[in-house]
Amino acid sequence: RDWMFKLVGKETFHVGGTNTKATINIDAVSGFAYEYTLEINGQSLKKYMENRSKVTSTWLLNLDGIDCRVVL
């Protein structure tokens, strides 16, 4: 997007090759304090990670000095 941004509101974007929908929510808490939350496919990040770990297995490898992640 352009360089201008809102101080509060939502910004939705896609992540990865599967076009996973992510949304950053920015809410004013008090004065100049803000709270940021991240949703993935409509779920909180914590809930998304919990559900994802139930259906996938992940391995982190270092191959020839390159960090790789294998997800099945």
pLDDT digits (tens, 9 = 90+) for 43-57: 999 999 999 889 999
Residue 28: its pLDDT value, please? 86
pLDDT digits (tens, 9 = 90+) for 14-49: 988 888 999 999 988 887 788 999 999 999 999 999
For residue 35, what are the contacts with CB-CB under 8 A and spacing of at least 6? 26, 27, 28, 29
Residue 4: its pLDDT value, please? 55
Residue 5: its pLDDT value, please? 57
Residue 64: its pLDDT value, please? 95
Measured over all CA atoms, what is the biggest interatomic distance in the chain, rounded to whole angstroms? 50
